[in-house]
A = this chain, B = another copy of it.
């Protein structure tokens, strides 16, 4: 491949390209991070670049836009809508660079989800031991490996049996003798045994670090953790770079089926995203890749397949089976992750099925619902929505394609829950004004997930939109506006925002949000229906996903994202997948619980369920066509 060349002049990268590819596709493969929220559909307009030499062709005339540049050199276009047909040179303005938008510190996880005291004593996925070994003598002539093993078992007998792989064994004789038999040894927990995974001078191994990773379809979150005590050193979150290849798992699978190279590109995109997050954390917290000796990953089955470069197409076809629920332990070297190449043990949370992945088993372990007497419901609102109901005796799960609207994809005004994102929103009709809060108290850049929920609730209450989601064309406010032949409502004027442009919600954005909430509500109701349970039977609802802790649960019920359950029973728990990845990073008991959870869970397939389709249509209303089901929601 690569008949053509796209030169990214600010990056010094000359990337090979095929005729017909978009600039965004070429950039993503070449590791040039261009911001996109909409998945490359010409909607969010974040991916503006300047073509300074050569010509591009429009992908879809409907989404094609071009602007002159201030200095008159080249033209400004959307990278996702510009098709390459000849060699071109491209500048990526600072404001369009992905890294400038999405690598940020994120809020800590809820303390009750990551309470390690449930799992004491700690038994991390890998541990480091600093050893001062006796030197070999005629009286004590055991082998190097037995010398290590003896000392390790002296420290902790539960490490047995201890194995080693050939690459590390090769380093052993010299490592011991060059360091006068004083070495730092990393020992991985690989399930049936422990493995000596790295040996180095004690000075080179000040700390032993691990990574807890949530590979979401839209967003990837990472925590850097001190394995000795579980302390979280730093956090970072970023768009999944695969968004350039499709918004949801199905469109991405379709894309990879075109050729083996496309699967390789999809794989590269998530590896690059992870490595960018790791680099950010290393720089920010003064760490090095070699210090990282363990990684625990949670993600849905498709994300895990792409991460491991496994064909995911069987997940798309009935009966939607992934290649394996339990993924073998692997090394960073096998994937090209920028952590200790052979000395880090990497594991993935086991999945239940093609559409209930390791992110959900991680969530179950984090909430502890699998150990509780009381009946609980875990609702994970992501691009794929997953529901688990049950307690210590039984667990049943289902999934639905919610779409990425609440994660900010397909909604022009949306953004991740980072600095400048609106988390709370209340439109006051009388004052024709918005009361709001943003992260970091900065001027608004966009609306976070929790803000989107409150916005819908508020606009319904103010009758800007009706219960079917239609914007009222007669609403008496200057905020109402017509654009691209559809109605919009200005949430913030240009002079209020940090981006110098107004933030507007359009009719199609609202429809996307309603479809997302409808899928989740329908899945919950069908699942409860099959179990002959009423909402009142549920003692705890754990609302997980992209919202963040600031979500107003009253509003979530008001718009019909959740059934009408007593509000005090609803807990917004945030990223339970990341919480579970953290727990399994730190505890063998948690790892065993995750495996046991997979065996205990029953999967209910909604994809061919007619009840689900009926409920989905009824749930596209706010909160639902049958208002008797929402007695507590004032009309």
Contact = CB atoms under 8 A, between A and B. Distances in A.
Interface of A: 136-138, 140-146, 161, 163-167, 169-170, 172-174, 177, 192-193, 308-311, 313-314, 318-328, 330, 334, 353, 605, 608
A163 B167 CA distance: 21
Contacts of A318: 138
Given A146-B324, A161-B192, A193-B192, A310 B141 contact: no
A160 B319 CA distance: 26
A145 B326 contact: yes
A144 B310 CA distance: 12
A143 B327 CA distance: 11
Given A174-B311, A192-B192, A308-B169, A324 B138 contact: no
Contacts of A140: 319
A320 B169 contact: no
Q: Name A's interface SS.
A: loop
B193 A321 contact: no
A330 B166 contact: yes
A8 B325 CA distance: 55
Contact of A144 (B142, B166, B323): B323
A321 B138 contact: no
Given A143-B325, A164-B324, 8 more contacts: A143-B321, A143-B324, A144-B322, A164-B328, A170-B310, A172-B310, A173-B310, A174-B311
A320 B141 contact: yes
A321 B192 CA distance: 28
A141 B192 contact: no
A322 to B, nearest CB: 6
A7 B99 CA distance: 54
A309 B165 CA distance: 13
Given A192-B192, A192-B193, A145 B325 contact: yes
B137 A169 contact: no
A519 B128 CA distance: 47
A337 B145 CA distance: 25
A323 B192 contact: no
A148 to B, nearest CB: 9
A172 B305 CA distance: 12
Contacts of A172: 310, 323-324
